Amino acid sequence: MSATARLPHPPSLASYHSGSNPLPLMPTTVFTIANQKGGVGKTTTAVHLAAALAEKKIPTLLVDLDPQANATSAIGVEKQEGRSLYGPLRGEGAAAEMIVATSSERLSLIPSEEDLGALEIELAGKENYLGRLRAVLQPVRASGQFRAIVIDCPPSMGMLSMNSLSAADHLLIALQCEYMALEGLGQILRNLERIKTAVNPELSLGGVVMTMFDMRTNLSRQVVEEVKNHLPDQIFKTVIPRTVRLSEAPSFGQTIFTYDNTSPGAAAYRGLAREVIERFGLAKK
Ligand SMILES: Nc1ncnc2c1ncn2[C@@H]1O[C@H](COP(=O)(O)OP(=O)(O)O)[C@@H](O)[C@H]1O
Ligand SMILES: [Mg+2]
């Protein structure tokens, strides 16, 4: 078991609320990073956006909703049986009980485990099957413990990803700078509309993050230009470069901020976090 997995749960704000002058509760903004394609940089973006927000003093909860648990291990937390949203999403236990601290101050995690994958089938046809995650995260939102929640999704638009769209205020799309990138975009946007109509009218397309930008190729530049033309207001100015350091960090259970803090990948994700804070007013109380 890694050291971080043994850290205590982050303190609940309730403990600060004694006395006559209670702190105002923080509003919580929920982001989901979704794309049915695998290997496009969703997990890398979820982990580093969450870690960079925390570094900028924004209390943040990363929710690993991918049964592969890549975000959990990337952040240096060991998987534990029974510690994921599997139980809560089936109506057993509370999401708050699943929260663990990480080695970064202000960054907490709800880990994932393989069982989560069974929900793709188990939830089908059940009551409120698309709104389960929203309901399960509601008490965590209401606790005022976190200013931001970042959900990392599996590489499919199945039950888990659709639930994340229902639970979120903003969808952030990670899009790899590659040939045919725009093709996948259409499918995600159609799902966004479906969920907006069916369950979550508040959901918005919060932004598009271009990942794995390769400076040596024209293709990367062309893809960015094309997305800029389609979604000029949504595309983030910060483009994430393709760098080996970003792909190495997770195998050490580290984020780029501890693995190679001065690398271009670290600078890029800090830039993205700055834009997210600005765009969604996260620094405001
Ligand atoms: N900017 C990047 N530069 C280099 N490698 C990257 C970058 N972003 C992600 N990767 C690597 O690409 C692979 C897929 O990324 P990942 O974030 O896991 O995608 P997804 O969650 O969409 O499947 C991983 O091995 C990851 O380490
Ligand atoms: Mg992933």
Question: Does 8 have pLDDT greater than 60?
Answer: no
Does residue 8 belong to any structural domain of this protein?
no
Q: What are the distances in angstroms from CA 225 to CA 181, 189, 237, 272? A: 12, 19, 11, 18
CA of 253 to the centre of ligand 1 (A): 14
What value does the mean pLDDT of the chain take? 92
User: pLDDT tens, 74-98?
Assistant: 999 999 999 999 999 999 999 999 9
Tell me if 242 CB under 6 Å of ligand 1.
yes
SS3 189: helix
Long-range (24+ apart) CB contacts under 8 A made by 232-238 are: 234/205, 234/206, 234/207, 234/208, 235/207, 235/208, 235/210, 236/207, 236/208, 236/209, 236/210, 236/272, 236/275, 236/276, 237/271, 237/275, 238/209, 238/268, 238/271, 238/272, 238/274, 238/275
Q: How far is the CA of 182 from the centre of ligand 1 (A)?
A: 18
- Domain residues for the domain of 221 are 25-276
For ligand 1, whether the C-beta of 43 sits within 6 Å is: yes
Ligand 1 atom showing the smallest separation from residue 213 Cα: 1
- Is residue 84 within 6 Å of ligand 1 at its C-beta? no
- Ligand in closest contact with the CA of 184: 1
Q: Which atom of ligand 1 is nearest to the CA of 46?
A: 17
Question: What's 147's domain CATH number?
Answer: 3.40.50.300
Q: Ligand 1 atom 23: the closest Cα is on which residue? A: 39
**Structural domain contains residue 177:** yes
Asked if the structure places residue 255 within a domain, the reply is yes
Q: Which of 285, 275, 213 is nearest to 31 (CA)?
A: 275
Pocket test for ligand 1, best of 152, 208, 216, 247 (most atoms within 8 A of CB): 247
Contact present, 134 and 5 (Cβ < 8 Å) = no
Closest CA to 35 of 155, 120, 166: 155
Q: Which ligand is nearest to the CA of 241?
A: 1
In this predicted structure, the answer to whether residue 4 has a pLDDT above a threshold of 80 is no
Has residue 58 been placed in a domain?
Answer: yes
pTM of the model: 0.92
* Percent of the chain residues topping a pLDDT of 90: 85
Minimal CA–CA distance to 170: which of 276, 45, 84, 42?
A: 276
User: Which one has a higher pLDDT value, 182 or 166?
Assistant: 166
Cα 23-29-30 angle, rounded to 5 deg: 135
> Percentage of residues in the chain with pLDDT exceeding 70?
91
User: How far apart, in whole angstroms, are the C-alpha atoms of residue 107 and residue 75?
Assistant: 10
Residue 180 has pLDDT above 90, yes or no: no
Q: What is the mean pLDDT of residues 218-240?
A: 96
pLDDT surpassing 70 at residue 6: no
Whose atoms come closest to the Cα of 39: which ligand? 1
Based on the structure, what is the number of domains in the chain?
1
- Work out which ligand 1 atom sits closest to the CA atom of 174: 22
59 lines ligand 1 (CB under 6 A): no
Cα-to-centroid distance, 19 and ligand 1 (Å):
47
In this structure, is residue 175 part of a structural domain?
yes
Residue 285 lies in a domain: no
